[in-house]
Amino acid sequence: MSSYLTAAIQSALQAFPRQRLLLLWTAGVGLTAIATWMWWRKKQSEELELKQVGIVSELLIYPIKSCRPVSVQEADCMELGLYKGDLRDRHWLVVTEDGHMVTGRQEPRLVLISVSVRGDSLCLKGEGMDELLVPMSLPKSNKVRDCRVFGKDIQGRDCGEEASRWFTSYFQSSQPYYLVHFEEKTMRPRKSKDSEVLFRDVDVIAYSDASPIMLLSETSMEDLNSRLAEPISLRNFRPCIVVSDCNAFAEDAWHDIRVGTARLKRIMACGRCILTTVNPDTGIITRKEPLDTLRTYRKSDAALSHVYKTSPLFGQYYGVDKTGTLHVGDPIYQVIHKHQQ
């Protein structure tokens, strides 16, 4: 046997124990990591308690800001709000020629436009107007417009001249209106905290006022209507998630909730504005009810008056801590940290 082969065999024999030791050490590290993870999960589950506080009674997606919602039986709860395939909450916006947003505050009759899905298009219907089909996926050749939503910059892809003529005619305007679409892959969302300081850096939105999710209970609505001379509709308040099987205003205290496979964090109450005074059936704005009545019993604490000012509080804004899927009928669980009890 050559000296070279002898040396190779001796080297292999010497290396074997070290290799085995390395394998055993690696396995030990892996088992330790797994045991640590299992301990952490067990500790987390021991520290958390889930308490059912309500049931999802309705899921609403508002494709075009200030237009009528689309009611769905299930939806994906994403960072930017509720999705149902390409149908996404507040991802379309009516703007003026200089890019400023147009909502029901400026054009109350916007709330009368109904939106539905027909194939891969949005189908818009308005009184005295032919149906308008707007593709949910637009050609890249369409112009990208610079827009302003509550004084903040955001982009939107122009939905085309036909859509512009439709809205301009609907509002009987001498100045053109345009419909734009927010595209997530190419456009930067707004930060919620730029609209409301209590939001976190991770909370983002497309054309929503401030929050990706607004939740309201049916019983809070019933409480308000019991105080009004003329009852109004949930549609005045435009919630995304409607809840049943709870006490009025119970949602004020749901700081951390699980719905379906999603987890939501309550950020703040929703301060209400004159949009709530637009009748969703007539498109007439009164600037009075329900705001006048809400101000009699739903004012903010004095310590938060710098946030809400004179706006009464109705419904709750949530940020999305974990994306997931929601269904009508899903129980809503309040996540209670036991050390806080």
Residues 6+ apart with CB under 8 A from 234: 58, 216, 218, 221, 242
Residue-level pLDDT at 338: 72
Residue-level pLDDT at 4: 55
Residue-level pLDDT at 127: 97
Residue-level pLDDT at 6: 54
78 bridge partner residues: 81
**Hey, how many other C-beta atoms are within 10 angstroms of the C-beta on 73?**
11
Chunked mean pLDDT (size 10), the chain, 341 residues: 54 56 57 61 66 98 98 98 97 98 98 97 98 97 98 98 98 98 97 97 98 98 98 97 98 98 98 98 98 97 94 98 98 85 52
Question: 3-state DSSP call for residue 104?
Answer: coil
Structural contact between residues 53 and 332, judged by C-beta atoms closer than 8 angstroms: yes
Tokens of residue 261, six digits = 């496979």
Give me the domains of the chain, ranges plus CATH numbers. Answer: 51-340 (2.40.33.20)
Residue-level pLDDT at 209: 98
**Hey, how many other C-beta atoms are within 10 angstroms of the C-beta on 108?**
21
